[in-house]
Amino acid sequence: MSDWNLLTLVGADRPGIVARVTRVLFALGCHLGEASMIRLGGNFTIMLMVSGARSEAELLAALAPVAEEMDLRIHLDPSHGGLHHHLMPNYQVRVMGADRAGIVADVTEILAEQGFNILELESDVAGDREHPLYIMNIQGYSGVTLEALRDSFSALSKRGVSVDVSPVDVLIG
């Protein structure tokens, strides 16, 4: 099982996208690996690991009719990663603050300075139109101590952004 491709797909959300796309891939003899599929705004987005002996051109050609019919943008990247390259997060960072431009850059720059590797980031805007609240949840790995990571956010906390850092414990049982 090698020859993995990373398939990226975006289109206006509607029922049936996943079913149609994966049926085509199955008919081509492809295997599916890790995937992230989520609705963002009114779009449905897919990032999906696909393997099989098919060329990039064959994959795109086979998906073209579905893409046309369901108005999907499709992109394919060869991936040398394959499966079973999971990294375990050891920290979770929860960020909350009145929505303003630059929160994400501020937080993630600090994390980058601490050698923090983001493995997963999800964010949402809550609150109402007049008072939007930005919420971000990050899981990742860093070799620095919990105290060092917490301290690195003290300046940002004084500017009204709440940042909570907690260890992620993976229980194996």
Partner 1 sequence: MAILEILKLPDARLKQASETVEAFDQSLRDFVADLEETRLAGPAAVGIAAPQVGRFQRIVILDVSGRPKTSSHGHLVLVNPEIVHWEGYAMGREGCLSVPDYTGNVIRATQIRLKAQDPDGQVHEYEMEGFEARAVQHEIDHLDGLLFVDRVVSRRTDLYRRKVYQS
Sheet order of strands, 162-167 included: 117-127, 132-141, 91-98, 162-167
Residue closer to partner 1 (CB basis): 63 or 91:
91
CB of 145: closest distance to partner 1 in angstroms? 12
CB of 44: closest distance to partner 1 in angstroms? 14
Residue closer to partner 1 (CB basis): 84 or 158:
84
Residue closer to partner 1 (CB basis): 109 or 124:
124
Tokens 């909350």 identify what position?
A: 96
How far, CA to CA in Å, does 61 sit from each of 3, 68, 74, 93, 171? 18, 11, 11, 42, 44
Cα–Cα dist 138/136, whole Å: 7
Q: Which residues bind partner 1 (CB under 8 A)?
A: 38, 84, 86, 88-89, 122, 124, 137, 168-173
CB of 120: closest distance to partner 1 in angstroms? 9
Residue closer to partner 1 (CB basis): 1 or 171:
171
Residue closer to partner 1 (CB basis): 88 or 105:
88
CA dihedral sign of residues 89, 90, 95, 100? negative
CB of 158: closest distance to partner 1 in angstroms? 28
Sheet order of strands, 43-51 included: 31-40, 43-51, 4-12, 72-79
Q: Which residues contact 8 (CB under 8 A, 6 or more apart)?
A: 45, 46, 47, 74, 75, 76, 77
CB of 129: closest distance to partner 1 in angstroms? 22
